[in-house]
Chain A
Amino acid sequence: MDTVDKANMREFLRSFYGTSVDHWQMNEGVFDLLVRMLQTSGRCSDLMDLVPRPMKPGQTAAKWLSKEIRSQLLRNIHKRREYYRVCLERAAINLRTDFELAGRGLAY
């Protein structure tokens, strides 16, 4: 991920988790969790349309998606973050601990 992708992802996650996100690394684990958040919510289907399916079993989103799709996903999320925040909020509650661990480079 380049610096723009990381900045977009951090800004979006800050809307759920506040300033604790400032201590996190924006790495592939965090991106995978963000995609899992989209998948489990079953909402924001316009975003999920960007993700080619089915993903191979055991494959992570960061490795499965091309750089262009990852960047587009993060750009879209950032552009309409207020809208997506509302539709993903409940899913974000259940993933907080995983994000805390992944953002510190720990196994989750």
Chain B
Amino acid sequence: MKHHILLVLLALFWSTQTQALDLQVSGKLHITLPEPQRLAHFSGVLIVWGKDRGRISHRYLSAKNYLSVDMRGILPAFFCYEFGQAGCPPLPRWLQVLASDSARVAKLKQGRSWVNEVGSQRIYAHYLEGRGTGFIPEEDGVHIIEYKGDVHDFKRMLNSIREVKE
């Protein structure tokens, strides 16, 4: 009888726990999302709402027409300039100007910015007024993660991004 009660209590405990979601966004990249409550998928945009009504979305944008420029092969360098990093790979001067202009429009000098290394990739992130955006540029396109919610949760989500070799 005691065992039965224990099993029922355990079952109740597990049923009230929401599992973290492991979201795979590319062949290698995974993000851990704690306690997802609702998911939606609209026109290539995946949206996940959290327990506190914050939300995260993911989409992939091709480099072929990024800011009306064919940036295939140069997108990682472009983001390096946009986020004002040192030692960026060479880019034509006009693209460097476009990158700094893009940084101004995105208000990167306001709010908080981070650049994280994940395996062979870099995550460029910015948070301002309750919203965060993370960019993971690749040769052919960029993963864009939009976040609405608390800055600490945004940072935790960024830190959960990892490269998995399968």
Contact = CB atoms under 8 A, between A and B. Distances in A.
Interface of A: 17, 20, 23, 40-43, 85-86, 89-91, 93-94, 96-97, 100-101, 104
Contacts, number: 48
Chain A, interface SS category: helix
Given A23-B43, A97-B57, A40 B107 contact: yes
Nearest to A85: B68
Contacts of B144: 93, 96
Nearest to B107: A40
Contacts of A96: 45, 57, 59, 144, 146
B105 A20 contact: no
Interface residues of B, number: 21
B42 interface: yes
22 contacts: A17-B43, A20-B44, A23-B42, A40-B105, A40-B107, A41-B105, A42-B104, A42-B105, A43-B105, A89-B67, A89-B68, A90-B67, A90-B106, A91-B105, A91-B106, A93-B61, A96-B59, A97-B45, A97-B47, A97-B55, A97-B59, A100-B57
Contacts of B42: 20, 23, 100-101, 104
Interface of B: 42-45, 47, 55, 57, 59, 61, 67-68, 101-102, 104-107, 131, 133, 144, 146
Contacts of A20: 42-44
A104 to B, nearest CB: 7
Nearest to B43: A20
Contacts of B106: 90-91, 94
A100 B144 CA distance: 15
B123 to A, nearest CB: 16
A90 B105 contact: yes
Contacts of A93: 61, 144
A101 B56 CA distance: 13
A65 to B, nearest CB: 23
A40 B57 CA distance: 20
